[in-house]
Amino acid sequence: MKKIWISITLLLLVTVLSACGQSDGGTLNVLNWGDYINPDLITRFEEETGIEVIYDEVGSNEEMDVRIQLATTEYDLMVPSDYMMDKWVQEGQIQPLDFDLIPNYDANNLMAGVVDLIDDERFYDYTVPYFYGTIGLMYNTNVEGLAEAIEARGFGVLFDQDSPYAIGMYDSPRDALGAALMHLGYSPNTEDASHIQMAETILKFANIAAYGEDDLNNRVIEGNLDVALVYSGDYFDELYAHEAEGLDVNFAYYAPERTNVWVDGFVIPENANNVEAAHAFINFMVDPDNALDNADYVGYTPVFTDTYETILADFELDASIFNPIPSGQTRYIYQFLSSAHNEALLEAFNRAKSN
């Protein structure tokens, strides 16, 4: 895999409308996470369909929510996580998919873990899964004693007030407070105000060196941070790149026994202008060859069984980490419970950060 870094807001304009007379397929506005698609596939889709893709990026589900609420740009396709999909279904912000327009999608080929995650969820008919994984700890293996501390204490390593380690925290209420809640033995979906208060307190007094998003993995590798809360794919992405370039790997990933498992998926907003093109793009991305090319680039765990098995074998990965739902461990999927609950998490998070 050859990794290409993409800027925070990437605008891909179509450069080829073939001289052999391909018709103009209109414009498709896509909102996705940073560095979360193989850009060659966007170019290929444009060339094959004549559809111009305008591609934009954000760093969190909360940023996506702001975009869809403000509606300053009418996106045709977005890639949120489970709990945000749940929120948008309840608010009427996204529309059910027409699966007849996505013939390449084979629900029977989904990983069993993905089916378990979404089968009973409100958003089942509104999404085609994209990738899934965990949150966990990425750490620098050159730091003496850190691996042993992480294996012994899990997320607790992040919340030591007098920690000797340089700690990076993901800049998200769901993830930061979720890690704190799971460390305390509570569900990350708890509505108990006392649980959230305790999570806020340990986050407030934790010795956090930096808050960040997709940059945390590189800061660990560069030695600016010793350990950070990251998504599993941030680790695998860097692992693939280092192995492809023959670089020494000075980092590892640990998913505690109790952690979040998430699934991201394609959704079409209710006010989308080009619904047909959005379905065409989803259909293109879940084509088996394209799904494999994308998984090879992105680094996250594929949702399709055949793609998963190919990546697992090609890169000789540790299945106990690459599989987000190993047997005998507790995994929570984040839920959207209410706007009041979301607001309580955001306020607690902001108070903790302000310390």
Spell out the residues 6+ positions from residue 218 whose beta carbon is closer than 8 angstroms to its own.
238
- Delineate the domains of the chain, giving CATH numbers in brackets: 27-132+262-314 (3.40.190.10), 134-261+326-354 (3.40.190.10)
What gap in Å lies between CA 27 and CA 274, rounded to an integer?
A: 7
- Whole-number mean pLDDT of the chain? 90
- Portion of the chain with pLDDT greater than 70, in percent: 93
Residue 309, pLDDT score: 95
251 versus 318: the higher-pLDDT residue is: 251
Chain segment 54-104, per-residue pLDDT in tens:
999 998 898 999 999 998 889 999 999 999 999 999 999 999 999 999 999
Q: Are strands 208-212 and 258-266 parallel, antiparallel or unpaired?
A: unpaired
Chain segment 182-223, per-residue pLDDT in tens:
999 999 999 999 999 999 999 999 999 999 988 999 999 999
Residue 25, pLDDT score: 74
The separation between the first and the last C-alpha atoms of the chain, rounded to the nearest angstrom, is 41
Q: List, in sequence order, every beta strand (DSSP E) within the chain.
A: 27-33, 52-58, 77-78, 94-95, 128-140, 167-170, 208-212, 227-231, 251-254, 258-266, 268-269, 301-302, 330-332
Other CB atoms within a 10 A radius of the CB of residue 70 amount to 8
pLDDT band for 168, please (50, 70, 90 cuts): very high
Mapping DSSP onto H, E and C, the string for 104-124 reads CCCHHHECHHHHHHHCCCCCH
pLDDT band for 24, please (50, 70, 90 cuts): low
Which residues on adjacent β-strands are paired with residue 55?
30
Mapping DSSP onto H, E and C, the string for 244-275 reads HCCCCCCEEEECCCEEEEEEEEEEEECCCCCH
Nearest to 128 by CA among 297, 278, 335: 278
334 versus 14: the higher-pLDDT residue is: 334
> What's the predicted TM-score (pTM) here?
0.82
What gap in Å lies between CA 189 and CA 173, rounded to an integer?
A: 12
What tokens does 320 get?
Answer: 């106990």
What gap in Å lies between CA 196 and CA 126, rounded to an integer?
A: 30
Chain segment 196-206, per-residue pLDDT in tens:
999 999 999 99
